[in-house]
Amino acid sequence: MAKEKKQVKAITSMEDDFAQWYTDICLKAELVEYSSVKGFLIIRPYGYAIWENMVDIMDGMFKKTGHQNVAMPLLMPESLLRKEGELVNGFAPEVAWVTMGGSEELEERMAVRPTSETLFCDHWSRVLQSYKQLPMLYNQWCSVVRWEKTTRPFLRSREFWWQEGHTIHETAEEAIAETEQQLNCYADFCRDALAMPVLKGRKTDKEKFAGAEATYTIEAMMKDGKALQSGTSHFFGDKFSRAYDVTFTGRDNRLQYPFQTSWGSSTRLIGAVIMTHSDNNGLVLPPAIAPIQVVVIPVAMHKEGVLDAARSLQQRIDALGIRTKLDDSDQSNGWKYAEYEMKGVPLRVEIGPKDMEKGQCVIARRDTGEKYFVPLEELEAKVQELLKAVHDNLYNAAAERLNTRIYPCQTVEEIREAAQEKHGFAKSMWCGNEACEVAMKELAGVSSRCLPLEQEKLGDVCPVCGKPADKMIVWGIAY
Amino acid sequence: MAKEKKQVKAITSMEDDFAQWYTDICLKAELVEYSSVKGFLIIRPYGYAIWENMVDIMDGMFKKTGHQNVAMPLLMPESLLRKEGELVNGFAPEVAWVTMGGSEELEERMAVRPTSETLFCDHWSRVLQSYKQLPMLYNQWCSVVRWEKTTRPFLRSREFWWQEGHTIHETAEEAIAETEQQLNCYADFCRDALAMPVLKGRKTDKEKFAGAEATYTIEAMMKDGKALQSGTSHFFGDKFSRAYDVTFTGRDNRLQYPFQTSWGSSTRLIGAVIMTHSDNNGLVLPPAIAPIQVVVIPVAMHKEGVLDAARSLQQRIDALGIRTKLDDSDQSNGWKYAEYEMKGVPLRVEIGPKDMEKGQCVIARRDTGEKYFVPLEELEAKVQELLKAVHDNLYNAAAERLNTRIYPCQTVEEIREAAQEKHGFAKSMWCGNEACEVAMKELAGVSSRCLPLEQEKLGDVCPVCGKPADKMIVWGIAY
């Protein structure tokens, strides 16, 4: 009674059912598995290796600008969370509560960390003394829990993995500069590591983080034209400092409240990568985060010398510091090609007896499917050239989409059409009134994504109320 | 109303009060802070940087032997935990329970992960199909929660950070080999990264992990002669596989149960490092895990050229791939010396006007206090030589202690004396009877640490019951 043999199967095409296509990739590329814990995810080795590559790169960027990692408690007493009213109101509906420790009922229930502003503030209230200690630039890599009703792999689940940066500064100006620096850091990371262009902007008051004075965001456009918020950076002013009594002795020898920021990005970015680059053959990964950047496949492996030749290629590529794998398993070539296509490996190198005779190997690109016959002595140069080409091609295709599918609109109907029929974003003027923002959801089925940092003047009036409008805003259907 | 100025203060001496000395170092070296969440710890940047260095090294070792990282859910339903009776009985008294999600009472309460055997088994029960997929060699870096009554930084707290390796294998032999390999991995890590020798052995049935067939351990001896269990590796047989219905189609085409291991080490190792190497001036860190390996201090910084000279030294050391810091703050030299002593920085490099005239710098060792006048052209060679010397000296001192303070004993009184008066471990024969093990706690105040892998014949009878005994066991007072 053998179990069914594992096979690489075709996936739903994105044209037929984008949501199913997405789920198929998550499962068939072995990124995740649904756990038997409802709404919780298991990140499998291949998916986790992608996340590890993202973490390595981002962590290096954070450290270069002076940030240090710390670990804060997983649980926090309700009273601590309640000190800042807006924050708790924002998160309370989705907090998981611990009420028992061992066999004892707790006197006060404790929240499983949904975000850690309160813990950082509480810590700073005890350790901060002088302006000389500022800025404090902290970051934490951890998972957080939010009790979501409906969940989807990477995009929305009851637990997700993220980093949360938390900083305090002597002045508001410095804190604002930090907020902007980290927003740019996210955008640079998306461009250079994920080959994903983003739109940088500020959230409206309605969409900003609970308790923040200002929330900045990067918004990416998925292949279906929907928006994915991919990272946020918040400026809190001194509001939390006051709520948690975080003070320091300033240069003038008086007690002052520091100014605070926080910023976060998460495993959601894996979802962003999938929906930005992948196709109907499976996952497509930008080289910088691919767990395997080049797979080497010996063709007609049983023929003399083939395996050795393949191994030699693999070692030469490995010596470049490129993550590479030799697949010398007894699966068929067809199975292997499909498998590494599904897993989004950027380059496949093949070598067989005929190639050996000709002193060449074959390199196939995952993104375009193009094949190159490469003289063996040119292997290193060609692999490096092609990895760069894959990155650039992925970036350019995504940038082309983002650039051509943000439609300037004058009317509510045009906005509806841009999002619902042309499958893109809409940009329009906006009066700044929340009522108009809410109405847009009703009338066009879109939410505000951001007020782009690069503003344009598209007109003079708000498409909803017709009143004077001097802000350009971007609308879209969001994940 | 300025806050009190931060100062480096003397700490309790370890001879006066070892426990207070330990706590003083944890706090004054800024490794941790007590959070306002009772029993939970905050790991501050300096402490977390030590942990990051440990993680980097261990993670590299795990990956070299084919292990892959994954992420499992933080919460697990009670029914899942209950499938394996011994495990749940072992952990139930110290589980934190989530009973509410948002404003809704959960139908079934969920445990905050105390350890993840159940989740791995549950996952494998769905993804494992064929022997071709074996072994599955997984690891997870995360924090776990155990509702401890009394807590101490790093040694025992309600949350701690660790790695938990979980593997399944086709045969029992392979799983046992994995258990041993990972035990050796821990011992090698302790020797090479922590400069800490350990005793390798097997736990008695009384002391083994809930549900394990065999638990192996590494035990280190702290400066006060107490034992610190520093890593464990478990062989489960196919017990959990059967409980969670994990099966695969074997080479004979029949359904079989895989054999399983798990192995863990934690932030406890930071406590081990403190109590193995530190002294009355503060923390002493082995170079491999020190966040700052060499600190450079300009002496008479205002004098022309001094700061440039110091910066040049720092750059040259940095170019060797050594973690280095230049302290050009306006604190006094005395403050700086005390600060980096407290923080356990292995080497301090000083340069002042007189040194510049002589074309030299001064290097001071944290471990011995020795000072070296080093010609500038010999800087690189000397720094590398001294970092190695610091590691070796720390290791040798700890090895000397472990080697000379395990006392061979024939009687219960000798065992009591070895632990209580000579502040070391006792080794004796043991009949294998749990009653004698329990009695030893009563009679000598010690617990069994392990049955060392390297056995010796110290006699023929058990010191407690006088019956024939063919096992050598090590006793001690444990953290």
DSSP secondary structure letters along A212-236: -SEEEEEEEE-TTS-EEEEEEEEEE
Q: How many whole angstroms separate alpha carbon B461 and alpha carbon A294?
A: 63
Where is B76: in which H helix or E strand? strand B75-77
Give the H/E segment covering residue A42: strand A41-43
B68: closest CA of chain A, how far (Å): 6
Which residues in chain B are closer than 8 Å to A95, comparing Cβ atoms? 101-102
3-state class (DSSP) for residue B212: coil
Angle between helices B268-277 and B18-28 (to 10 degrees): 110
Q: Are A174 and A259 in contact (CB under 8 A)?
A: yes
Mutation for testing the A interface, residue in B30, B32, B33, B35 having most A CBs under 10 Å: B35
CA distance A62 to chain B (A): 14
- Mention every residue, 6+ apart, whose C-beta is less than 8 A from residue B294: B317, B322, B323, B324, B325, B345, B346, B347, B348, B349, B383, B387
Euclidean distance between CA atoms A346 and A368, whole angstroms: 10
Q: Would strands B136-145 and B360-365 be described as parallel, antiparallel, or unpaired?
A: unpaired
Nearest to A99 among B6, B99, B119 (CB): B99
Contact B72 A110 (CB under 8 A): no
Which H or E run contains B475? strand B471-476
Residue B279 has, within 13 A of its CA and on its CB side, a CA count of: 14
Which distant-in-sequence residues (6+ apart) come within 8 Å of B286 by Cβ? B193, B194, B195, B196, B273, B277, B346, B390, B391, B394, B395
The model's pLDDT over A110-127, given as tens digits with 9 standing for 90+, comes to: 999 999 999 999 999 999
Tally the C-alpha atoms within 13 A of residue B341's C-alpha that lie toward its C-beta.
Answer: 20
* Tokens describing residue A373: 């016959």
Q: Which amino acid is at B77?
A: P
Residue B3: its chain A contacts at CB < 8 A? 129-130, 247-249, 255
Instruction: Report chain A's C-alpha Rg in angstroms.
Output: 25
Pairing of strands B68-69, B75-77: unpaired
> Given an 8 Å threshold on Cβ–Cβ distance, is A69 in contact with B49?
yes
SS (H, E, C) B358-419: HCEEEEEECCCCCEEEEEHHHHHHHHHHHHHHHHHHHHHHHHHHHHHCEEECCCHHHHHHHH
Q: CA A406 from chain center: how many Å?
A: 21
A298 forms bridges with which residues in the sheet? A351
Counts for chain A of helices (H) and strands (E), in that order: 14, 23
Question: What local confidence, expressed as pLDDT, does residue B191 receive?
Answer: 98
Closest chain B residue to the Cα of A247, Cα to Cα: B3
Please say whether the dihedral angle defined by the alpha carbons of residues B243, B244, B249 and B250, taken in this order, is positive or negative. Answer: negative
- CA B289 to each of CA A15, B53, B391: distance values in angstroms, whole numbers, following the listed order: 52, 5, 11
Instruction: Tokens 């000709």: give the residue.
Output: A358
Strand pairing class (A255-256; A294-298): unpaired
**Pseudo-torsion of CA B284, B286, B289, B291, nearest 10°?**
50
- Apex CA B140: angle with CA B135 and CA B141, to 5°? 150
**Please, are residues B221 and B405 in contact by the beta-carbon 8 Å criterion?**
yes
Instruction: Give me the residue from A52, A94, A96 closest to B98, CB to CB.
Output: A96
- Residue in B101, B109, B123 closest to A35 by CB: B123
How far A472 CA sits from the closest chain B CA (Å)? 36
CB pair distance less than 8 Å for B42 and A4 = no
In angstroms, the CA A387 to CA A324 distance is 12
Residues of B in contact with A158 (CB under 8 A): 101
Sign of the dihedral through C-alpha A386, A387, A390, A395: negative
Question: Which structure tokens are listed for A479?
Answer: 């994940």
Which tokens is A202 given? Answer: 């500020």
φ/ψ (deg, to 5) at B108: -130, 130
Model pLDDT, residue A84: 81
Cα–Cα distance for residue pair B379/B224, rounded to 1 Å: 37
Q: Which of A366, A350, A347, A372 is nearest to A300 (CA)?
A: A350
CA A117 vs. chain centroid, Å, equals: 21
Separation of alpha carbons B71 and A42, rounded Å? 6
Which residue among B37, B76, B129 sits closest to A75, beta carbon to beta carbon? Answer: B37
Residue B417 near residue B388, CB atoms below 8 Å? no
CB contacts of B100 in chain A (<8 Å) are 96-97, 99, 109
Nearest to residue B280, comparing CAs of B10, B30, B5? B10
Q: Which amino acid is at B370?
A: E
Distances (CA, A) of A10 to A44, A273, A280, A336, A341: 20, 20, 8, 14, 11
Of A6, A98, A159, the CB nearest to B129: A6
Is B70's CB within 8 Å of A119's CB? Answer: no
Residue by residue, pLDDT tens for chain B (479 residues) are 344 444 445 899 999 999 999 999 999 999 999 999 999 999 999 999 999 999 999 999 999 999 999 999 999 999 999 888 887 888 888 999 999 999 899 999 999 999 999 999 999 999 999 999 999 999 999 999 999 999 999 999 999 999 999 999 999 999 999 999 999 999 999 999 999 999 999 999 999 998 899 999 999 999 999 999 999 999 999 999 999 999 999 999 999 999 999 999 999 999 999 999 999 999 999 999 999 999 999 999 999 999 999 999 999 999 999 999 999 999 999 999 999 999 999 999 999 999 999 999 999 999 999 999 999 999 999 999 999 999 999 999 999 999 999 999 999 999 999 999 999 999 999 999 999 999 999 999 999 999 999 999 999 999 999 999 999 999 999 99
First to last CA, chain B: 43
Specify the DSSP element, H or E, that contains B221: strand B214-221
Cα separation, A203 vs A200, in Å, equals 10
From chain A, pick out residues whose CB is under 8 angstroms from the CB of B76. Answer: 37
Q: Which two tokens stand for residue B301?
A: 């910084």
3-state secondary structure of A204: coil
- Among chain B residues, CA nearest to A44: B70
Q: Which residues of chain A have pLDDT under 50?
A: 1-8
Give every CB contact of residue A478 below 8 A, 6+ residues apart in sequence.
Answer: A226, A227, A228, A229, A447, A449
Kindly determine whether residue A101 and residue B100, on different chains, have CB atoms separated by under 8 Å.
Answer: no
What does the block give as tokens for B455? 């056995």
Q: What is the pLDDT of residue B329?
A: 94
- Can you tell me the distance from the alpha carbon of A247 to that of A15, in angstroms, rounded to the nearest whole number? 56
Facing B45 at nearest CB: one of A45, A68, A95: A68
Selected for mutation to probe chain A from B6, B31, B34, B37 (highest A CB count within 10 Å) is B37
CB within 8 Å: B40 and A147: no
Interface test with B, best of A89, A107, A112 (most B CBs within 10 A): A112
Query: What's the CA gap between A62 and A136, in Å, rounded?
Result: 13
Among B43, B75, B253, select the one facing A71 at the smallest CB separation.
B43
d(CA A361, CA A338): 19
Q: Which two tokens stand for residue A456?
A: 């344009």
Sequence-distant (≥ 6) Cβ neighbours of residue B312 within 8 angstroms: none
Judge: B130–A5 Cβ closer than 8 Å, yes or no. Answer: yes
Considering CB atoms only, which of A127, A129, A143 is closest to B74? A143
Report d(CA A67, CA B83) in Å as an integer.
Answer: 44
The pLDDT, as a whole number, for residue A2 is: 44
> If you search the block for the tokens 């140069």, which residue do you land on?
A381
What is the reported pLDDT for B88?
80
Q: Report CB contact under 8 Å: B36, A122.
A: yes
